[in-house]
Structure 1
Amino acid sequence: MCWSILLFFYFFIFAFGVHFKGGTITWAPIDPYDNRTSINITITQSYLWTLTHVQCSNNVPTGTSSSSSANLICVADCLTDGGYSTAPINILTKCTWTSSSLDMMKSEASKQTTLSAGAHFYLAYKGGDWASLHDPPKPGLPWTILTYIDLRKRSDGLINTPPVAKFVSPQYAIVNRTVQINIPVSDVNAGDVVRCRWSTNTSTDECGGICYPNTVPYSTTLSNCTITFTGHKAGVLYAVAMQVEDFLNSTSNTPMSSVPVQMLIYVQPEPNCLIKPIISPLDRCLEVQVGDLISFNIFIMNLCTPTVTQIADFVVSGDVTGMSRSNLTTSPTNLSLSYVSFTWTPHINQIGSNQLCVLAFTSENLQSDTYCATFIVSNSSNRCLTTISTTITSTTTRTTTTSTTTRTTTTSTTTRTTTTSTTTKTTTTSTTTRTTTTSTTTKTTTTSTTITTTTISMTTTTTSSTITSTTTSIVTTAFTSSTTSTSIISNVTPTTTTNAPGSSIPWPLILGLSLLALLLVTCCVVCCFYQLLWWRRDRKNTKNRSSNYDMYGNPNTDRSHMVGSQQEAFQTSSAESSKYGQVQATEL
């Protein structure tokens, strides 16, 4: 009997070890409010395998009943395992999806067990061997995937539910380029703080033969569940092991649970097109009611020339139970646009958050950023109060010359315009003009004898497609790539602009422009008012001056033009003249 078990493990190691690509183990209580002495929990195993060497079946990895003797085993605190060791769970999982282009298969299994209340222990899947890892190669390394289960009540009276990590393995990195690999994590317990750390092999073995930094370059770092990695030799395979843990608050240092994440990173040669595909975020309501059937499409845009590379695969790294999907479909009217259709009817036991995470691969194994959408299931008819849609971004950087590429998806027309460089020389006076716009740069320099004008216009592609009454609009600028088109070579640096719900509005800019406009209007009003007063006063002064002279320029003595003392003087003079005339008449 002992010899048969030993032979089985040797067979398992050599037949399947080199085809193991990583995985995770998590668990959750059926009822976090359960106050009974026995607690029902679900333990979920998720593993990734090489498709061409492991059969897609209901009994992965071996597809035979003999593998039932391999179990998840308690490795620490087994005296408080709540009775798990008397009825252990085997490692058999069910094939859930495959990818022939990536030579990948994923298997999962969720199995229920009953443990004593207050149980806490470490559960692990031990095996071997990993494929040959690192440079120089390190063959025959064993694996240990370990999770920590704790059914003791939290300070808020609940049984804890651990975080969940959504990822695929292997991850692809381009040689001599730094890539940031983000591991999407979520936790159903509101307020819990989730942290990631490297797995260790100190008091408890969490990582077997791939503990940090044994199987990654020394420059590899982990921060906020994001791995920063640079591979300097193509064709080399690396392995990483990390633990995802949740804490009651930001000041706590005692994890309530620990979930493993183990995966491979493959360093590949530089592809012909370095612009990674983009997954368009969902624009529909993500709040759904129990029993309602929902349907939606997720679109993927290929920003490379379709004759160079195509969208080859669409991978669901984090699935939602009961959600079905179609095969990857390329739009018949736009070869750069692909989509996958989803349908789902949520059940009563799915009330709460349900996260779907996906990513796309090109035919050159260039992967998109991971896109996650969180669906909120409720029994209420008042839906769409909130919409949660998250894009998990991984960044690849390299020092290059930067130019700009703009692509827009609108309505159903396709227009492609390319303006080449032209040079004109002429003679004129000294003038210098510099003008910059978003997609065109014009620089004109004029000397006193010669003007050289160079115009460079970037390629602008407007692509439109209408699929099932859905219009997808994607704007992408400044990608890291080295592309060649119509004998024009441009080196570009990758930056992705994502417009998501809830993005910030540039209030300082809007306020500044508003104040500037108000100042200009005020100046115009004051200027007009001043000019009106000055014109009326000048007109009055001109009229007064002109009334004191006749048409020949002589002083005007007409009484109608006299005022004040002048009129009185005239009357006095007239009276004296009249009196003088009377005296003369008397004398005669």
Structure 2
Amino acid sequence: MKSVDILLIFFIVLIVRISCSHFRGSMITWRVINSTSNPLVVEILQRHAWNYTWWPCTNTHISAGNYMIGSGSIVCPSSCPPNVSTLSSVTVPCTGYNQIESYVSGEGRFTFRVAPNYRFRAVFTSSAWFSLVTGGGTWSVSTEINTYIRPNGRYNQAPIVTMLPVIRLRRYLSYNIKINVADNDFDRYTCIWSNTSQECGGICRSALNLPASTFLNETSCILHFVPAAVGFYAVAFTVLDFENDTSTTSLSRVPIQFIFNVWDSNVTCSLKPIYIGDAPADQCIFVEPGQNITMFIRIKIQCPNATLANVIGVYPAGFTQSTPFTDPYDTTIYSFKVSYTGNANQVGQNLFCFAGVDSIGNQGDSNCLRFTVQLAAESRNTLYINNATHFPTGLVSKYQSNWTLIYPTGTTFVRPSTEALIRFKITSTQQDFVTYNVVKQTTNVNYLSDRLIISSTVVFNPGQNYYISIDPGVFLPISTCLRDSMGITDKLFWPFNTASEPSTTVTTTTTSRSSTTTLLNRTVPTLRTFITQTTQTTQTKTTTFLTTTTSLSTTIKQIHVFSSFPISGIVDDEDDNQHIESYERLQHSSFNDSEKPRPLLLEV
């Protein structure tokens, strides 16, 4: 009986061990999204990775956006604000997977309410890690939330950390691994080893037996690591952000945990696949909510006779990826299409990170593209935040041509080398009225040491509202991903309008006057034919009325219309003299020269 009990206990432990060994790492961060309410509205962004066999996600699931993965809850363990205990489930939609490395990952957001002026931790903990070279057991991930208002009047946005769920490292090779951080407040940040049980559970630095050469540069967030043993390592880091360069008290603490898969091979070539895609690595790609961005990722294989075997990636929500294909002109290059649609709840940087793996097993460096969703009123550009002096605004002449933006003291900008636009937009339609390319149209955009001068060359429509919109990259290259690389697109920042002009009404009046000469038929002994012509005169008068002044102009145009018609009759000889006298009187009547009828033509 005792042996049966022992066997039963063994299987129970084994089942528990297997069922709980599906964790592959996490990241949890936060921000205040409604600072006008009390309590405040805090948003949690969580990203988790799990064993693929537990939640076998597919591309169809990702497109549908409703395949949920993960289990467990995020809780506040102590010193909690009122009504805050269990924050939410860690179940999130699947956004990516990799069957070769056996992981599935997903991210999601939820909100909860917190009173101002609280500092507390939100923790996700359970057991256990799968078999690791060093460390293991319980996992725990913790983020520190701080609802104190900053000196600049804003609440904090904690950093977002994005790492591949699995990074392949070849034994005995030296690696410098960058921890990818995005701080949407552009605060100074540092990276440290996680060092409390809530932050790292069984994989804290003190629990790991790592080579002595292992070193984390806290300022650059680069880990130097030379793996000595084949197998899996789990590592835990915490990112801290600070108000300024001299502050020693962090605004938040954000965890990141992921896995190293250390391997070895008898194949000597260890050249990594390299990224040669459309956009430079770490470049910010600015996206408006609802806008779709599509581009190609290209990876070049360097080892002879090797092929692309796998792509490891971590994907934000709204992201899709095609199957890689071989370049028809270079069989060492593989391409795949990626597509991202920004969402309004993703304001800020959303990192897509990826690395190619060749058929030998060599993994390339992790590269990230920073899809940055920007709302007009959420720009962190220094000129926008400080409402830098700019003029003119308000009512301007329709011929206004000079526009000036003065830099804050001690700040200067130079003309970028990458094209970007300054746009004059119609407020009602959001359409561009005129644009100026800051690289090509140098006569229209002048960069001085203390100001930017725009010279427009258009006549603006009367009675129209406009605003000036400045694209990302006008002040700093977007490749820097710094705050001043952001655009200023808020229509309330630089609005202006033109005065209405009086309307004009034209009225046309036409009158006609005709003059007719009537001749009496007379009887004469001989048959004669008289041809009579009628002259018709038409007068046209045009009057123009203006709202402010009245002017009258009259134009008289005379139009002569000649009509001939024969009159036949018998005329007595004794009446000939009378007829001639009548004709002479007609010739000397009071007609104007132009109105006189032509002489009658007599045919005998």
* TM-score where L is the length of structure 2: 0.55
In the alignment, which residue of structure 1 is the partner of 2:69? 60
CA contact (8 A) 1:24 1:260 kept: yes
- Superposed, 1:517-532 pairs within 5 Å as none
Deviation at 1:372, TM superposition (A): 2.3
CA contact (8 A) 2:188 2:243 kept: yes
SS in 2 for 1:35: coil
In the alignment, which residue of structure 2 is the partner of 1:39? 40
Match of 1:29 among 27, 32, 37: 32
Q: Which has the higher strand share?
A: 2
**Structure 1 pair 48/175, CA: closer, same or farther in 2 (3 Å)?**
same
Deviation at 1:383, TM superposition (A): 5.1
The amino acid across from 2:478 in the alignment is: I
The amino acid across from 1:36 in the alignment is: S
**Structure 1 pair 251/231, CA: closer, same or farther in 2 (3 Å)?**
same
In the alignment, which residue of structure 2 is the partner of 1:208? 201
In the alignment, which residue of structure 2 is the partner of 1:316? 313
Distance 1:144 1:54 in 2: 21
Distance 1:269 1:226 in 2: 23
CA contact (8 A) 2:316 2:350 kept: yes
Match of 1:226 among 192, 202, 222: 222
| 1:72 to 2:74 alignment | yes
The aligned length equals: 362
**Structure 1 pair 11/388, CA: closer, same or farther in 2 (3 Å)?**
farther
Distance 1:27 1:12 in 2: 35
In the alignment, which residue of structure 1 is the partner of 2:492? none
| 1:84 to 2:84 alignment | yes
| 1:193 to 2:168 alignment | no
User: Cα RMSD between the aligned structures?
Assistant: 2.9
Distance 1:293 1:59 in 2: 24
SS in 1 for 2:88: coil
Deviation at 1:97, TM superposition (A): 1.3
Q: Deviations over 1:479-526 (max 9, x none)?
A: xxxxxxxxxxxxxxxxxxxxxx9xxxxxxxxxxxxxxxxxxxxxxxxx
**Structure 1 pair 343/11, CA: closer, same or farther in 2 (3 Å)?**
same
In the alignment, which residue of structure 2 is the partner of 1:115? 114
**Structure 1 pair 315/44, CA: closer, same or farther in 2 (3 Å)?**
same
Distance 1:175 1:84 in 2: 46
Match of 1:17 among 20, 25, 45: 20
In the alignment, which residue of structure 1 is the partner of 2:124? 125
Distance 1:271 1:339 in 2: 28
SS in 2 for 1:337: strand
SS in 2 for 1:335: strand
Distance 2:259 2:348 in 1: 32
Query: Which is further off, 328-337 or 50-59?
Result: 50-59
- Superposed, 1:394-409 pairs within 5 Å as none
The amino acid across from 1:239 in the alignment is: A
SS in 1 for 2:207: coil
Match of 1:149 among 121, 145, 150: 145
Distance 2:339 2:297 in 1: 11
In the alignment, which residue of structure 1 is the partner of 2:175? 179
The amino acid across from 2:39 in the alignment is: S
The amino acid across from 2:91 in the alignment is: L
**Structure 1 pair 227/82, CA: closer, same or farther in 2 (3 Å)?**
farther
Q: Deviations over 1:178-201 (max 9, x none)?
A: 2121111110003x1110111112
The amino acid across from 1:208 in the alignment is: G
Query: Which is further off, 254-263 or 19-28?
Result: 19-28
Deviation at 1:345, TM superposition (A): 4.2
CA contact (8 A) 2:265 2:360 kept: no
The amino acid across from 1:369 in the alignment is: D
CA contact (8 A) 1:288 1:383 kept: no
CA contact (8 A) 1:179 1:230 kept: yes
| 1:296 to 2:290 alignment | no
Distance 2:91 2:478 in 1: 34
Deviation at 1:274, TM superposition (A): 0.6
**Structure 1 pair 119/328, CA: closer, same or farther in 2 (3 Å)?**
farther
**Structure 1 pair 90/263, CA: closer, same or farther in 2 (3 Å)?**
same
Deviation at 1:60, TM superposition (A): 2.1
Distance 2:361 2:82 in 1: 45
**Structure 1 pair 346/48, CA: closer, same or farther in 2 (3 Å)?**
closer
Distance 1:210 1:97 in 2: 25
In the alignment, which residue of structure 2 is the partner of 1:404? none
SS in 2 for 1:21: strand
Identity of aligned residues (%): 27
The amino acid across from 1:244 in the alignment is: V
| 1:265 to 2:260 alignment | yes
SS in 1 for 2:330: coil
* TM-score where L is the length of structure 1: 0.56
CA contact (8 A) 1:373 1:388 kept: no
